[in-house]
Every structure is written in C-alpha cells, then in structure tokens.
Amino acid sequence: MSARKSLILALAVLPCAFLKIQAQESGLLLKDWAPLSQMVVKQTRVLKPKFPVIDVHNHLALFRGLDSLAYHLSEMDKAGVWKCVSLDGFHNTDLFQSWRKIGEDFFKEHLAACKAVAPERFLVFYVPYYEKIDEPQFGEKEAAKLEEAVKLGARGLKIHKILGLYLKDKSGRYVPVDDPRFDPIWAKCGELGIPVMIHVSDPKAFFTPVDRFNERYDELGEHPDWAFSDKQFYTKTELLAQRNRLIARHPETVFIGAHLGTLPEELDQVGMWLDMYPNFYVDIDARISELGRQPYTARKFMIKYQNRVMFGTDAAPDAELYRTYYRFLETDDEYFDYSNGLFNQGRWKIYGLYLPDEVLEKIYNKNALKIFSMYKGPKAS
C-alpha cells in the first residue's frame, strides 16, 4: 500500500476511533440508558374507555393510604373508571409492616373509609392473617374471620405471593400454595359466593439466574429480593402446579389468577388452564407489558377467552395510566411505552390489540359483574 493510501485510511479511521473513545469515556451505564425511539407511528389518545371500567386489582391503602381515597376517586372519574377493588383488607399482618404500618383489624378501617367516600364505587377484599399458620384449626379460625369481614362488607379474598414464596411454618419450610390448612378458607369463599384473587409466583425471568441472559436484569438489579432462582425456593412450575391443584380441589370457589395467571409469557398454557378449570379466571393487571409485545397471540387469546378475562392495573388509580391501558386494548397503535413513567418491567415497547367492542365490554366490566353477582353472603344465624 502506498504512503498516500495509508495516510487517507488513517485519517478516515481516526474520527471513528475518537468517537468510540469519547463514548467509552462518557461513562453511560446501561441502567441509565433511555433511548428515544425514532419511529414515526400513529398515536391515539383515549381519554375515556368505550365502556365503564371495573378495576378488579388495585391497592388503595398500600400505595397512597386511606386518606387518599377522595383523590383516587377523582382519578377514576377522569378516566371513566366505574368501580375499583382494593385488595388491602388486612386483618393484621407483620409481613407488610415495612411497607405501610397496619394495625389490628385494619380491614374494618378500610371498609369504613370506603363507605364514607363512595360506598358504590369501592370494593374491599379481605386478606387472611398468615402468621398464625401453626396454630390449631388455623383454617377454620381464618374462615370465621373471613365470614365476619364479609358481613361487614368485604366482597372477596386476596392471597399474596407470600404463600409459596415467603411464608414459612415452624418446621422452617415454605408453606405450599395447596397446603391443606388453608382448605377451610377456600371452602368458605365458595359457600359465601366470593372470589379469591390469587397471586402465585412471579414473572418467569425472576426464577432464572440474574445474569446477562435475563431479560429483566436491570429490574432485578433494583429489586434483588424479587429473584427466586435459588434452590431454596419452589420452582415456578411447582408453584403453579400447587395453585392448580387447589383450584381443582375447590370447584365451587371462583379463583382469579392475578397477572394473567402469572404466566403471560405462555398464553397457550394459560388457555389450557382456562379450558381445564371452569372456576378459574384471569386479570391483565401489570401485564400489558407482556401481552403488548405479542399482539397477534394476545389478541387471539383475549377474543377466545373473552368471558374469562378482567381488567385490572395493580397501581394506585391514575388517569394517565388507565389511558395507557385503554390505548392498548382499544387501538392498533404500534410501538409505544406501557409504563407511563410509573413502572418499567422490560426494555421493549408494546402494540395495541384493537379488540372488538363486545370483547372490550366483557373485559372492562361484564365479567367482573358476573363474578360479583355470585355473592350469597353469610347464612342467617
């Protein structure tokens, strides 16, 4: 190669090398990388849903506290949300003390606060007192407390992922989801005609090693206690099998699988469960991130199982977040943000499902109304 050609080549490479060094020296961390998409696509703003909405999965007490109920109601009104279910009817639990201080019989305070602000707009689900698992007749005692809560106005039961992942009995083992000590509680729900909102396990990525192959790596970096790949825990497959066994064991009780049955990454499997267990339903709360990155499969799923899917957010009522859900369900918009700045579950965008009106109405309210209409209440003494 001649000296002239060598010089030209060196001069051509020099800017690239300089830019590379400059980029490396900037010190940008992956967790801070927030690229702005250059895609020019349609953006549809859906201020109100096509049909009144029932949010079956919310936390009115834990996220902002009961003194924010009036604010919650104003956000619901802005976004066309008719009713909202709060899953924070705690009897008393130490497992949540670090998040928000909760005292004895908190569910009574919660029920009273909701009735004072908007009795027709808020519903409260009772939460059992897990910590007494080792006491004799635990299930029977908790079933009696549940019945008392229903007499006062509770309209469902909430089971957290604590069961199976955090709660241990005196033997030191993690209490399985289908532990027979809970059977009287499930049976009581069937007797009363109230649903069980049950959260079992977590995203698939939380049960795999937190390494360069994990698609939720940065999220788990912020929340290392959400990682369950250690052998001390049940596998995700086993946890879901435990849940399914209890659903099969209590056919008279309606179970709502939170977060698309906690397996939105495998909608075919969720569909098989819905086919197998007529008393099983699912909600979409906090999982439009998963559904929206598989829009063709998700649309087919939502249409096929339109009678078994319900609307939920798992976030404090927020008009803009609700509108993101409406955009996802109602439009054919492409490649848009699902988080609205409130949460981030993965480095991807989502696509709208553009669901038919008859499907939307069922997801927004009809399926929830059907379940709530099953209410029988306590037997007269």
Tokens of 276: 């197998």
Question: Which pLDDT value is given to residue 218?
Answer: 86
Question: Which pLDDT value is given to residue 36?
Answer: 86
User: Phi first, then psi: what are they for 161, rounded to 5°?
Assistant: -70, -5
Question: Which pLDDT value is given to residue 27?
Answer: 83
Per the model's pLDDT, the better-predicted residue between 131 and 71 turns out to be 71
What is the CATH number that goes with domain 38-372? Answer: 3.20.20.140
Q: CA nearest 86: which of 59, 64, 65, 108? A: 59
Domain limits, the chain: 38-372
Question: Which pLDDT value is given to residue 229?
Answer: 94
Question: Which pLDDT value is given to residue 62?
Answer: 86
Mind listing the pLDDT tens digit for each residue in 205-236? 999 999 999 999 988 988 999 999 999 999 99
Residues 6+ apart with CB under 8 A from 97: none
The C-alpha atoms of residue 55 and residue 107 are separated, in whole angstroms, by 19
Strand partners, 123: 85
Mind listing the pLDDT tens digit for each residue in 356-370? 999 999 999 999 999
For residue 91, give the DSSP letter. S
Question: Which pLDDT value is given to residue 43?
Answer: 94
pLDDT at 93 over 90: no
User: Phi first, then psi: what are they for 278, rounded to 5°?
Assistant: -65, -15
Question: Which pLDDT value is given to residue 359?
Answer: 98
pLDDT at 8 over 60: no
DSSP string, 205-240: GGGS-SSTT-TTHHHHHH-GGG---STTSPPHHHHH
pLDDT band at 98 (very low <50, low <70, confident <90, very high): very low
pLDDT band at 94 (very low <50, low <70, confident <90, very high): low
Question: Which pLDDT value is given to residue 17?
Answer: 52
pLDDT band at 353 (very low <50, low <70, confident <90, very high): very high
Element (DSSP H or E) covering residue 368: helix 367-372
Q: What is the mean pLDDT of residues 76-90?
A: 97
